[in-house]
Amino acid sequence: MIYIKDLMSGLDIFKALSSEIRIQILEMLASNQVLNLNEIAKRLNLSNGAITMHIKKLEESGLIKINTSVGKHGIQKVCYLNKDRLMVDLRSKEADYMYEVEIQAGHYSNYAAAPTCGLATKDSIIGDFDEPRYFADPQRIHAEIVWMADGFLEYRIPNYLKANQTFREIQFSLELGSEAPGYSNNYPSDIYFYLNGVELGFWTSPGDFGDVRGTFNPDWWPPHLNQYGMLKLIRINHEGSFIDGCRSSNVTLGDIKLDYKSELTFRIAVTDKPVNKRGLTIYGKHFGNYSQDLLARVLYDVHEVKEIKLGISRAETE
């Protein structure tokens, strides 16, 4: 997700979005994941030269990325979305206090896993496939893809607030999918989210996608396994809980009763409740289609503290 904290910092993005052709290019990339320049030009009935100018502006704004790959007709420039979410905060800059942390998929603090399951770093599989005992391996903190047919992963989120600060909103952004043996694009799974043990709602993943190779997957990752997921944004504030902007529950920050001393735990789970119980896969920075790990963002308010001096005047002692 691209987060614009104030309007001036997003000027390049707003300029890039001012063209109908560039909007069409973004829509095509959202639908097709990856396209080369020739494919984009053909679909829009434009010359390669005209498309190159639009692609350059989209790349400079950070909305898309371009890689060079070798295809049937020589070297090609391949385009894909950098992020698939854009969030613009219209509040004044002075009122915007936040911090964010990225946590690798394997850096969980608690777990339960059942086969099919496993985890891998960007360099290799950890242990063996379908062996839950390897979820306790010390190397698991470096894992950037984790999958399971049943169970949960729980992450500890640092709380950096001070005594004069209060939570305004907590956000979680991560790439997720279902978990099928091998892969299956049609494999719906209900994935639930919890903050400090309180359910925030669930999202139904359409499948365990493997029809095309994930953009950031390492070369050694087998083509017959799942390749990518979908980027999801979970938010909780004083209005309720939301997944991708849609209300997922009426649970608010007030219901969880957080303060600057609170521990923060975020759980992702498949449970006994879903109609669609088909596992989960979490993709990190070097897997899937989005170059990010689990991103946790905390927005907070700062309150003025007035100093009160306690003492006894000389007159009162006489």
pLDDT per position as a tens digit, 51-68: 888 998 998 888 988 887
Alpha-carbon dihedral 5, 6, 10, 15, rounded to 10 degrees: 140
Contact partners, residue 192, CB within 8 Å, separation at least 6: 199, 201, 202, 267, 268, 269, 270, 271, 273, 274
Measured CA to CA, the distance from residue 71 to residue 154 in angstroms comes to: 41
Q: Does pLDDT of 310 surpass 60?
A: no
Task: State residue 73's pLDDT score.
Answer: 61
123-126 long-range CB contacts below 8 Å, 24 or more apart?
123/218, 123/220, 124/220
Q: Does pLDDT of 148 surpass 90?
A: yes
Measured CA to CA, the distance from residue 164 to residue 205 in angstroms comes to: 39
The confidence band for 34, taking pLDDT boundaries of 50, 70 and 90, is: confident
Judged by average pLDDT, the poorest of 69-83, 155-169, 250-264 is: 69-83
pTM here is 0.74
| Average pLDDT value for residue range 20-35 | 87
Would strands 86-88 and 2-4 be described as parallel, antiparallel, or unpaired?
Answer: parallel
Q: Does pLDDT of 95 surpass 60?
A: no
Task: State residue 86's pLDDT score.
Answer: 80
Q: Does pLDDT of 257 surpass 60?
A: yes
- The count of residues in the chain is 318
Measured CA to CA, the distance from residue 98 to residue 169 in angstroms comes to: 9
What does the mean pLDDT of the chain come to? Answer: 89
119 with 113: CB under 8 angstroms?
A: no
Judged by average pLDDT, the poorest of 37-51, 86-100, 216-230 is: 86-100
Task: State residue 82's pLDDT score.
Answer: 83
Q: How far is CA 245 from the centre of its chain?
A: 14
Amino acid identity, position 25: I
Domains of the chain, with CATH numbers? Answer: 2-81 (1.10.10.10), 96-302 (2.60.120.260)
Task: State residue 94's pLDDT score.
Answer: 45
Q: Does pLDDT of 71 surpass 90?
A: no
Most confident of 2-6, 203-207, 300-304: 203-207
Measured CA to CA, the distance from residue 232 to residue 85 in angstroms comes to: 9
Q: Which candidate, 21, 17, 29, 14, places its Cα nearest to that of 64?
A: 29
